[in-house]
Amino acid sequence: MRIAIDARKLRDFGIGTYIRNLIEQLARLDETTEYVLLLPPADVEFATGLGENFRGVAESARPYSLGEQVRIPLALARDRVHLLHEPHYVLPPATRCRSVVTIHDCIHLMFPQYLPNRLAPYYARAAMWSATRQADRILTVSEASKRDILKFFHVAPERVEVIYNALDARFSEPPDEAHMDRVRQRYQLDHPYVLYVGNIKPHKNLERLIAAFARARETGPDDLKLLVIGDELSRYPALRQAVHRHKLDKHVRFLGFQPAATLIAFYRLARGFVFPSLYEGFGLPPLEAMACGTPVVTSNLSSLPEVAGGAAVLVDPYDVDAIADGIRRVVTDETLRTDLIAKGHARVRDFSWAHAAQRTQQIYMDVLR
| C-beta of residue 101 within 8 angstroms of C-beta of residue 5 | no
2-166+352-368 homologous superfamily: Glycogen Phosphorylase B; (3.40.50.2000)
231 contacts: CB under 8 Å, gap ≥ 6: 199, 200, 256, 257
CB atoms within 10 A of CB 277: 24
Please tell me the distance from the alpha carbon of residue 324 to that of residue 267, in angstroms, as a whole number: 20
Distances in Å between the Cα of 15 and the Cα atoms of 90, 118, 191, 337 are: 13, 24, 35, 32
Q: What is the pTM of this model?
A: 0.91
What residues form DSSP beta bridges with 296? 273
**49: region left, alpha or beta (phi > 0 left; psi from -120 to 50 alpha):** left
Q: Give average pLDDT by consecutive 10-residue segment, the chain, 369 residues.
A: 96 87 96 97 94 96 90 96 96 96 93 79 90 98 97 95 94 92 96 94 94 93 93 83 95 92 96 97 95 98 97 98 98 97 97 97 97
Please tell me the distance from the alpha carbon of residue 144 to that of residue 281, in angstroms, as a whole number: 7
Residue 121: the pLDDT is 82
Residue 114: the pLDDT is 74
169-348 homologous superfamily: Glycogen Phosphorylase B; (3.40.50.2000)
6 contacts: CB under 8 Å, gap ≥ 6: 38, 59, 72, 84, 85, 86, 87, 88
Residue 65: the pLDDT is 86
Residue 268: the pLDDT is 97
Nearest to 129, CA basis, from 148, 113, 152, 145: 152
Residue 234: the pLDDT is 75
Nearest to 77, CA basis, from 38, 33, 43: 38
User: Where do the CATH 3.40.50.2000 domains begin and end in the chain?
Assistant: 2-166+352-368, 169-348
